[in-house]
Amino acid sequence: MPTLPDPPIDRSLFPVTERYVYLNHAGIAPLPRPSVEAIVQAATVSSAQGSVGEDDRFDATDVTRQRAANLMGVAVDDVAFVKNTTEGLGFVASGLDWQVGDRVVVPDGEFPSTIFPWLALADRGVEVVRVAPQGAEGSLELDGFAAALAGGNVRVVTLSWVQFSKGWRTDLAGLAELCHAQGALLCVDVIQGLGVLPCQLADWGVDFAAADAHKWLLGPEGIGVLYVAEAHRERLRVLEPGWASVTHRMEWDNLELVYDESARRFEGGTLNMIGLAGLGASLELLESAGVDAVWSHVDALCDRLCAALVEIGATVLSDRRPPTEPQGRSANVTFTMRGVDADALHERLESDGVICSPRGGGIRFAPHGYNTAEDIDAAVEAVRAAVEHLATP
């Protein structure tokens, strides 16, 4: 196979590579050294200084917010920090003013956190309409959404940008156009794409989006981002108002409830400052590498992976049509080996130091910008050897 250039993210910053072939970034990403160092530094300062230097920590948070906005392709005032994707989506689902008979369109087979907040609205008379994938690779073509929208009374279309099981990537710009033509809003779980795929949420017309840090953003668990387009900020009820929600935060004796004009109104109280320190370092690392370069590299790794898997008899379930055709490809590659149980194969691969996940009825590999062609070759060889072992009576 052709030689690939060096990865855009410095491999030496990931201690996990000393022990594993790590291809599970769609699950939980290993923290890079700079993020660990930032977390330790933040905890050390907190231990040694308490509240001293608090302004410096707030300034660092502002920098992190700007980096997150840049990565999402949105204005910084449209970004709030949340504890995870689920919380962000819940703020949207529970914050809108619903009427009996309103409908929400969501793909069937979605990740639980992307559908549960909407199913929970049943007691408010909201109906969830599910769109079935159109192909074996879990493809969600725009025609399916258009048909659901034509049913009327659709307030929100919600989905994952990249489906977690087989990696199908939906055309968000095209979907937003369909939604807005029918008076519907578009709310997207972007956790499986943000950090590895170029992203322009504002230009695409996305109304709301949320993502956790612990996958492609290479950050810690327990911190995430919420995007609320300025046009919809006032229509979204603030569910957890607190001192940080208002224009006069830090004025403890001022008890007027005057919400901040930015998305910070959704943050409520004290943020996970130590987690934010780690996220800030991770975002700086991604920013330095450049998300376009990261995606170009990962896309090439996935092409290499799919070709090698097919050579050893695998069936690739994820869409890998050329980029010149409809863009269903992502950094998630799911495959099966005929006659081999996915859970047994996963267990064997992990015991051999190849870290992945059983998803979509097969095995999901998900490389990032520091992985190499050698990682891919080693993983495929491990699959071949595992299949041979499992097939031996």
Q: For residues 152 and 97, what is the distance between their CA atoms, to the nearest angstrom?
A: 18
pLDDT tens-digit readout, 169-222: 999 999 999 999 999 999 999 999 999 999 999 999 999 999 999 999 999 999
Residue 155 within any structural domain of the chain: yes
pTM of the model as a whole: 0.95
Say whether both 278 and 380 belong to one domain: no
Say whether both 95 and 231 belong to one domain: yes
Domain end, chosen from 238, 267, 287, is at 287
Q: Is residue 49 pLDDT above 90, yes or no?
A: no
CATH number at residue 159: 3.40.640.10
Average pLDDT of the segment spanning 20-45: 97
In whole numbers, what is the pLDDT of the chain averaged over residues?
95
Residue 124 within any structural domain of the chain: yes
Q: What is the CA radius of gyration of the chain?
A: 22
Q: What share of the chain is helix, strand, coil (3-state, %, to 5)?
A: 45, 15, 40
Neighbours of 292 (CB within 10 A): 11
Average pLDDT of the segment spanning 232-242: 96
Residue 3 within any structural domain of the chain: no
Say whether both 244 and 355 belong to one domain: no
Whole-number Cα distances in Å, 105 to 128, 159, 340: 6, 8, 35
Range of the domain at 115: 37-287
**pLDDT-derived band at 324, boundaries 50, 70, 90:** low
In this predicted structure, what is the pLDDT of residue 323?
65
Say whether both 105 and 64 belong to one domain: yes
**pLDDT-derived band at 310, boundaries 50, 70, 90:** very high
In this predicted structure, what is the pLDDT of residue 53?
76
In this predicted structure, what is the pLDDT of residue 279?
98
**Chain position carrying tokens 């840090």:** 213
In this predicted structure, what is the pLDDT of residue 393?
61
Tally of CA atoms within 13 A in the half-sphere of 289 that contains its CB: 31
Whether residue 170 contacts residue 140, with contact meaning beta carbons closer than 8 Å, is answered with yes
Number of structural domains in the chain: 2
Say whether both 267 and 304 belong to one domain: no
Q: For residues 156 and 150, what is the distance between their CA atoms, to the nearest angstrom?
A: 13
**pLDDT-derived band at 331, boundaries 50, 70, 90:** very high
Residue 161 within any structural domain of the chain: yes
Alpha helices in the chain (DSSP H): 33-49, 54-72, 85-95, 112-119, 142-149, 172-181, 201-204, 273-289, 291-311, 342-351, 373-391
Average pLDDT of the segment spanning 133-146: 86
Say whether both 346 and 267 belong to one domain: no
Say whether both 25 and 42 belong to one domain: no
**pLDDT-derived band at 367, boundaries 50, 70, 90:** very high
Say whether both 26 and 96 belong to one domain: no
In this predicted structure, what is the pLDDT of residue 326?
62
Say whether both 380 and 253 belong to one domain: no
Average pLDDT of the segment spanning 354-379: 97
Say whether both 203 and 106 belong to one domain: yes
